[in-house]
């Protein structure tokens, strides 16, 4: 898919991290970008950065854990820019405390943010994408959902595992609706929040958490996301990006399950 002239919706694009980097990269490639976040100031800053490089963008506040607000964000992209071609499910996070010590409503929201929200966004994005002849979806997962080791946030790990598996199961949408769904599974990304978290760790804590000497930059993830949107040959692919290495694609056939 040629990105130039397409309409994109990027969730969680207001903070100075992966979402903003992806939104700005799509803007550089001349997509029109609907910027979503709960942080109005951050969202408007992303819009300003896209505009400063000659791109077009507009901010739409929406809580991706709320179905009506997701529906409204997609309608905003259609009403403002005339359609929807690209969806990037980037919004995510896992605030403390965690399961099983957190209250049910707290850890349930983490599941909604990291899995149910992207599922709803895909479901509601399909009709406008069909009207445009197809589209592309990028899900941003995490290596928290890969493998069998313990994780400090079980609800986050479970949701991100589900998001990667969801992506593979949706490979048939490419033939059915012309909509390609792919997933990026990063490890440590050097966002402002992550860098601050690393700085606050002791050397032993860094060793225990496996923090590498050099983390992946948000701009690297953004370049891969844009490339996957443009590459018509990939659908249902899960790209695992361990820090310090290169993204490694896992095909549908490589994943366990029926």
Residue 90 in contact with residue 11, Cβ under 8 Å? yes
Q: SS in 3 state form for the chain?
A: CCCCCCEEEECCCCCCCHHHHHHHHHHHCCCEEEEEECCHHHHHHHHHHHHHCCCEEEEEECCCCCHHHHHHHHHHHHHHHCCCCEEEECCCCCCCCCCCCCCHHHHHHHHHHHHHHHHHHHHHHHHHHHHCCCEEEEEECCHHHCCCCCCCCHHHHHHHHHHHHHHHHCCCHHHHHCEEEEEEEECCECCHHHHHHHHCCCHHHHHHHCCCCCCECHHHHHHHHHHHHHCCCCCCCEEEECCCCCCEEECHHHCCCC
Residue 42 in contact with residue 15, Cβ under 8 Å? yes
Tokens 């179905």: give the residue.
67
> What is the CB neighbour count within 10 angstroms for residue 217?
14
Respond yes or no: is residue 239 known to be catalytic. no
59, 99, 156, 239: which one is catalytic?
Answer: 156
Catalytic residues: 156
């Amino acid at each position: 898919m040629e990105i130039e002239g397409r309409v994109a919706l990027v969730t969680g694009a207001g903070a100075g991290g992966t979402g903003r980097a992806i939104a700005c990269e799509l803007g550089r490639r001349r997509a029109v970008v609907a910027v979503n976040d709960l942080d109005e100031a951050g969202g408007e800053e992303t819009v300003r950065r896209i505009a400063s490089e000659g791109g077009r963008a507009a901010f739409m506040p929406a809580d991706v854990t709320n179905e009506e607000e997701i529906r409204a964000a997609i309608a905003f992209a259609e009403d403002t820019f005339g359609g929807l071609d690209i969806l990037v499910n980037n919004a995510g996070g896992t605030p403390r405390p965690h399961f099983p010590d957190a209250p049910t409503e707290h850890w349930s929201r983490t599941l909604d943010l990291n899995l149910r929200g992207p599922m709803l966004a895909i479901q509601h994005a399909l009709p406008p994408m069909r009207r445009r002849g197809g589209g592309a979806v990028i899900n941003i997962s995490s290596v928290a959902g890969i493998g069998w080791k313990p994780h400090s946030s079980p609800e986050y790990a479970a949701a991100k595992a589900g998001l990667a598996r969801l992506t593979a199961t949706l490979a048939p949408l490419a033939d059915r609706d012309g909509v390609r769904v792919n997933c990026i599974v990063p490890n440590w990304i050097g966002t402002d929040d992550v860098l601050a978290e690393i700085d606050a760790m002791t050397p032993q804590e860094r060793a225990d958490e496996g923090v590498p000497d050099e983390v992946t930059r948000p701009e690297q993830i953004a370049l891969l996301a844009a490339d996957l949107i443009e590459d018509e040959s990939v659908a249902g692919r899960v790209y695992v990006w361990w820090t310090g290495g290169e993204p490694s694609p896992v095909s549908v056939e490589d994943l366990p399950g029926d």
